[in-house]
Every structure is written in structure tokens, then in C-alpha cells.
Amino acid sequence: MKKSAILLLSCPDRKGVVARIAGFISQHGGNILHADEHGDADTHTFLMRVEFDPAEFDLPLPDFARYFSPISAEFDMQWRLALSDYRPRMAILVSKFDHCLVDLLYRHQSGELGCDIPCIMSNHSDSQRVADFYHIPFFLVPVNKENKQAAEAQIRAQLDRHTVDFIVLARYMQILSDEFVRAYARRIINIHHSFLPAFVGAKPYHQAFDRGVKLIGATSHYVTEVLDDGPIIEQDVARVSHRDSMAELIQKGRDLEKVVLSRAVRWHIENRVLLYGNKTVVF
């Protein structure tokens, strides 16, 4: 694929933002390939994703900030520039259930996920064989009440060693400390096996089964210090009925988890997610 540059920004909503962005890119020889925007009327926030071809762009991309700063200051923007050919480094944390892990690894091998996976970590040894099959380093880090802080230190050491850009919790069934979450703010993606905000915490399928729900869901979100309360990236649902046993409900749910998590990861890799407050816009 042709290399492109992706500008993501948010700012207070006012007239002239789109014109200034388009004019700046055009003025310097860039060709806009895609442009998406959203104005949030409740918060008066404007969000935009602009992808452009930098082949004839007359500014060095490493110096983009210096030339763009007058516009960003004028409109009080939060922004970043990404390059489509950069392959972010994704670490995967998993516990016993490996269906999301296996799905991500297959999609990665098939080229669907444009990232590198330098390591897989788990508090159980069950996924060692899967990691070996895909030739990805596997690290076992057992966790219990007594060693939780030391275990997190081991995980962080591996993340630093492998220069990880972001982390995916592929059914990693441990609650991360606030310190850990802050160290990787907006860089941890989780899959929760319910349609949040319903059935937070442990055993959501059992909670849903006990309530006799007619729809079950899965939610992928960024992790924050508040359990299962981070900005939502993607959700999906499946219909269930009184005829479904607990096992059948869980099986349907696992199918949802794989699809929802892979979508969220792909959109994060492709720089399609903009965060504001406790929400996301996915372009």
C-alpha cells in the first residue's frame, strides 16, 4: 500500500477549522485521500481525521509540528501525526481462555493486523503451545495476592525490553493496578464479555443467564483506573433465548469477543480512534 500520513485532531468547535487544515495540506503539496469529521454538540468539541499522500509534500514530516504549530495554537488543538507504514508493537496478555489470542494471531499472520507482536505474557502456561506455534516469545508470569506488585513489575520490564507501543488484554483475567494503567494510559485495549455498562466485573455471562437476557454482547474498550469503565471502541450483540444453556450462551459470547476485539485492535493500529472525555469517535 502507498504510504500515507494521518492527522488526528480535536479542538473546540468553531468555524474555519476544516478550511485551515485542508489549506495547509494543499499549500504544501499534500493530496488529501480521506477526510472524516465529527462535531459533538453537547461538548462543543470538533474531531477530525485527515489522511493525505505525502509524496509531494514539501515539508519534512519530522518537522511537521514546527510548521503546524501556529494553526494548532490558533484553534487550541490536541493533535498527532501518524504514518501508515509504521508497524506498532503490540504485546498480548492472556489467562486461560485463548480464543481471542488465537484469533488475533491468525489475523496477524494473514496480514489483517499491520503490527508486530514481540511477546505474549500470561499468568498460566496454557497458551505456551499457541505462542510456540506462531514463533512468538512467551513469558509466564504467575500472579497471586501476595506477588501481584512483583508480577506487574516483571510484566512492565518485558514491555520495556520489547519496546511495546500498546497492550491487548485478550481475556487477561487480572485487574491491573492504577499505577500500571497510568503508565500505559490510552494504550491498553481490553475485551469485556458483556455489553457494557451491563454486567461489569466477574462472570458477566452468569449474571446475564440469571437475568434471562435476550441479547448478550461483548465490548472492547480502553482500560482506565475504573474497572470496565474506559472509553468504548467497539461493541456487538447476539440474540439468545430461553432454550440456550449456560454453555451455549458462553459459546455465542466467545464468538462475539473475537470479532469485537479484533475490530478494536485493527482500528487502533490504523489510527482511526479519537478519544475525548470518556468517549471515542471511530472514523
Measured distance CA(49)–CA(56) in Å, rounded: 20
Q: Is 228 a catalytic residue?
A: yes
Contact 264, 233 (CB under 8 A): yes
Closest CA to 69 of 24, 6, 4: 24
Pick the catalytic residue from 42, 165, 228, 244.
Answer: 228
Measured distance CA(184)–CA(198) in Å, rounded: 26
Helix (H, G, I), strand (E, B) or coil at 120: strand
Closest CA to 265 of 156, 115, 50: 115
Q: Which residue has the cell 456487538?
A: 236
Q: Report residue 165 as a C-alpha cell.
A: 507501543
Annotated catalytic residues are 228
